[in-house]
Amino acid sequence: MSRENFDASLTLVLKHEGGYSNHPRDPGGATMKGVIQRVYDGYRRSHGLIPRSVRMLGDAELRDIYRALYWDKICGDDLPGGIDYVVFDGAVNSGPAQSAKWLQRALGVNDDGVIGPLTLDRSDDVPAAHLVDAICDKRMGFLRALRTWSVFGTGWSRRVADVRVAGKRMAGGVTTPRPSKPPLPVPAPQSQGSPLVAFAVLIILAIIGVIKWLI
């Protein structure tokens, strides 16, 4: 299990989230380091605080939001190392329920979007590197079907590719091996000829020498 992976996973997620953005085609609207305004408003209200612009998101608030609303929702502390990060990043990008479904579909269990004992047990039974690939493949299939793929597809593809590599590394797995070079051809041994052939050549040379002497 991976109770120590939250900080490392959060660091990787934030590399992709960047700072403040408010793209007109992004359904999430105003976003700061991956936290959208609506989520920030809910967090502030739940703590008895007045909502404010997500631009003012503090570091402690950021950490609390990521742990409570994403990491804990996907049972990050109980997933295998590497798988926790892959599912966590998917949860931040597309929601915890959707990311849980990618994991469940990769495992072949009921995809209800809630990670429970069965999903956790099956996660331990599958080689981590293979499971990382399967989850990322499910995620890419989902993203390609979105109407905003033409706008954000390049960035999403790059992000999932990075997640795939980092997830395998965290899991102690291996990436796709480089194809091995074909062995160099071994030169065929040169024929040394038969002893009978060599003897015949000597006889012919001797006969030619006798003929020249007689002439």
- pLDDT (tens digit per residue) in 167-183: 999 998 544 433 333 44
Per-residue pLDDT, 4:
74
pTM, two decimal places:
0.76
What CATH class has 5-171? mainly alpha
Over the chain, what is the mean pLDDT?
A: 85
**In which element (H, E) is residue 101 found?**
helix 96-107
DSSP single-letter state for residue 20 = E
d(CA 19, CA 32): 5
Q: Are 83 and 123 in contact (CB under 8 A)?
A: yes
Give CA–CA dist 128/130, Å, rounded. 5
> Which residue did the predictor score with more confidence, 189 or 65?
65
Q: How far apart are CA 165 and CA 134, in angstroms?
A: 13
180 compared with 211, residue with greater pLDDT: 211
Q: Under a CB-based contact definition with an 8 Å cutoff, are residues 160 and 142 in contact?
A: no
How far is Cα of residue 182 from the mean position of the Cα atoms in its chain?
28
48-94 residue pLDDT tens: 999 999 999 999 999 999 999 999 999 999 999 999 999 999 999 99
User: Which residue has 């631009």 as its token pair?
Assistant: 55
- The dihedral region occupied by 29, where left means phi > 0, alpha psi between -120 and 50, and beta the remainder, is left
